[in-house]
């Protein structure tokens, strides 16, 4: 009549064990509660019999009616039962916890071994070692090449005569409005790095540009501009700008040649008397990638050509 319960093959044995533990625990608590109810009813029953009807007074131990002694003994048994459920019989005791921990560790080890197997299959050990060596080598090379290989553009922008003249007595020696406009269009919104003398040649700050002044004088200060002592510091300050400009003058262009990736040079087609000069452009290092001629007109006394160079 009673068919044996079939084990569900889909239930994980560990889940089943958890379930069994929980079920036993519920039964334990239920029994304790039943015991409590029976004890309360029984104790009240005996107490009423004893107090109201004088039942049990015929037998006493040390002057206490046997009914009362029975209630005390029962209370003692109930306390034992209570302790057994809540104190001694810990739910899923230490032994069970240890067993679970061992199982978990074994399972993790198994999974790690499987993953290792996959890695070994995908990358045989020799290949991994090779890849690691290539990676380290690549990183080292990257460090050496960093200034050249970076995608960042560092542009030196200048206007120079045929004899590389830049200016005299801390001023320019020509007036070319279209070149000014181009300078403004290219540099607006960017960091502009300049020597202290060039900065002092400006009547005021150039709007919408971050001014970085290079000076050896650590105490040099300029309102609205940053002052640094080296080109490295200047470039570090402009590191979040993907296109900072080095805007002169002669001494700073010389410093900038090692760091620049591009040169925007306006070659003014005449020779000028000057005391600041643009450095010679070595065509084995710099490639001319664009040129645009601008003729003489009523606003421009000299013809000039915009030359764009890129470091090879
Ligand atoms: N045509 C153009 O496109 C153009 C562009 C810009 C400027 N300019 C002209 O160029 C002239 C100015 O050029 P410049 O060569 O005389 O001066 P500059 O390059 O503008 O500034 C020179 C100053 O920069 C600082 N400096 C230079 N090398 C340094 C280093 N290695 N470390 C730290 N600080 C350094 C020094 O400042 P401290 O003395 O404070 O230490 C030095 O006096 C002006 O005539 C200007 O009009 C022309």
Q: Does residue 44 have a pLDDT over 50?
A: yes
Note the pLDDT tens digit of each residue in 222-246. Answer: 999 999 999 999 999 999 999 999 9
Average pLDDT over residues 288-302: 96
Average pLDDT over residues 139-165: 77
Per CATH, the number for 155-311 is: 3.40.430.10
The domain segmentation of the chain, as residue ranges, is 13-91, 155-311
Q: Which one of 180, 184, 203, 216 would you pick to mutate in the ligand 1 pocket, going by the greatest count of ligand atoms within 8 A of its CB?
A: 216
Our answer on whether the CB atom of 210 is closer than 6 Å to any ligand 1 atom is: no
Q: Which one of 162, 193, 196 would you pick to mutate in the ligand 1 pocket, going by the greatest count of ligand atoms within 8 A of its CB?
A: 196
CA-closest residue to ligand 1 atom 44: 170
Q: How far is the CA of 45 from the centre of ligand 1 (A)?
A: 110
Choose the weakest-confidence range: 134-138, 198-202, 240-244. Answer: 134-138
What is the sign, positive or negative, of the torsion defined by CA atoms of 99, 100, 104, 107?
positive
Choose the weakest-confidence range: 25-34, 120-129, 268-277. Answer: 120-129
Q: How far is the CA of 227 from the centre of ligand 1 (A)?
A: 13
The reported pLDDT for the residue numbered 6 is 47
Q: How far is CA 35 from CA 22, 67, 73, 79, 91, in A?
A: 20, 19, 14, 10, 19
Q: Does residue 143 have a pLDDT over 60?
A: no
Q: Does residue 2 have a pLDDT over 80?
A: no
Banded pLDDT at 103 (limits 50, 70, 90): confident
Q: Does residue 146 have a pLDDT over 60?
A: no
Entry field: residues in the chain: 312
Q: How far is the CA of 195 from the centre of ligand 1 (A)?
A: 4
């Amino acid at each position: 009549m009673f068919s044996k319960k079939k084990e569900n093959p889909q239930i994980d044995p560990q889940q089943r064990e958890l379930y069994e533990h929980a079920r036993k625990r519920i039964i334990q608590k239920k029994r304790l509660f039943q015991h409590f109810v029976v004890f309360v009813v029984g104790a009240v029953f005996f107490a009423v019999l004893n107090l109201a009807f004088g039942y049990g007074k015929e037998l006493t131990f040390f002057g206490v009616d046997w009914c009362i002694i029975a209630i005390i003994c029962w209370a003692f048994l109930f306390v034992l039962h209570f302790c057994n459920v809540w104190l001694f019989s810990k739910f899923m005791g230490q032994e069970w916890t240890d067993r679970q921990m061992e199982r978990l560790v074994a399972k993790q080890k198994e999974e790690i071994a499987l993953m290792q197997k996959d890695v070994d299959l995908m990358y045989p050990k020799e290949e991994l070692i090779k890849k690691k060596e290539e990676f380290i080598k690549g990183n080292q090379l990257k460090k050496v090449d960093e200034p050249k290989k970076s995608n960042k553009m560092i542009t030196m922008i200048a206007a120079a005569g045929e004899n590389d003249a830049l200016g005299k007595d801390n001023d320019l020696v020509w007036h070319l409005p279209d070149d000014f406009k181009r300078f403004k269009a290219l540099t607006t919104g960017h960091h502009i790095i300049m020597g202290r003398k060039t900065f002092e040649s400006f009547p005021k700050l150039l709007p919408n540009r971050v001014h970085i002044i290079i000076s050896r004088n650590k105490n040099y200060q300029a309102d609205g501009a940053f002052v640094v002592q080296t080109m490295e510091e200047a470039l570090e300050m402009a590191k979040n700008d993907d296109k900072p400009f080095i805007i002169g003058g002669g001494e700073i262009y010389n410093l900038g040649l090692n760091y620049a990736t591009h040169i925007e040079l306006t070659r003014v087609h005449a020779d000028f008397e000057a005391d600041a000069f643009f450095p010679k452009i070595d065509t084995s290092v710099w490639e001319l990638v664009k040129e645009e001629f601008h003729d003489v007109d009523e606003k421009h006394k000299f013809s000039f050509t915009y030359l764009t160079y890129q470091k090879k």
